[in-house]
Amino acid sequence: MKNLTYALLLFFTLSLTFAACSQSSVNDKIDAAYAAYGDKDMASAQQQLRLMLDNDSTDSYSCNDLCRLSILLMKLSEQGYEENIAQAVHCYYRSFEVNADSATAYYAALPVEDAPYVTILSALSMSLDPSQENRLQEFEVNENDIDLLMNNSTGDEH
């Protein structure tokens, strides 16, 4: 019985350690992508995000990770990676599912220059039926839509 207790305790400890390590790994990957973006290395930032999102499920990401990803994906979409918009909307949507209060606080505390991204993400996510979340993967935006959304979100009119 004593051996079983130790085995269970060891299993529980290893499980917690693994969870903590995998979470910091997600944070490290996001930090690296933001660093590449800050260094104006858009291709590297895009590659890091694609590898992360293609290999991991966002179901295990924290609310903060999802919020950070949604904004960085939107920033990269402005740099010629329009395919990121669907994933950004998905991350935005999931962040509110994980923890609506934390997501609201995160997006409210962003710098003013990031407000257009939140406006676009909010508008796009509100237009989705929650039962149709899987359709986010099929969501496509063409270049004219991007220009229209970005210009309207900053107050410019056509």
Task: Considering only residues 55 and 100, tell me which one the structure prediction assigns the higher pLDDT.
Answer: 100
pLDDT bracket for residue 124 (50, 70, 90): confident
Question: pLDDT value at position 13?
Answer: 53
Domain limits of the chain?
2-153
Alpha-carbon dihedral 33, 35, 37, 42, rounded to 10 degrees:
-60
Q: Is the pLDDT confidence value at 8 over 80? A: no
Nearest to 70 by CA among 53, 54, 56: 53
Question: pLDDT value at position 42?
Answer: 94
User: SS3 letters for the chain?
Assistant: CHHHHHHHHHHHHHHHHHHHHHHHHHHHHHHHHHHHHHCCCHHHHHHHHHHHHHHCCHHHCCHHHHHHHHHHHHHHHCCCCCCHHHHHHHHHHHHHHHHHHHHHHHHHCCCHHHHHHHHHHHHHHHCCCHHHHHHHHHCCCCHHHHHHHHHHHCCCCC
Ranges 18-32, 93-107, 142-156: which has the least confidence: 142-156
Amino acid in the structure at residue 154: T
What is the residue-averaged pLDDT of the chain? 78
Tokens of 95: 């962040």
Question: pLDDT value at position 151?
Answer: 57
pTM to 2 decimal places? 0.68
Nearest to 151 by CA among 116, 126, 124: 116
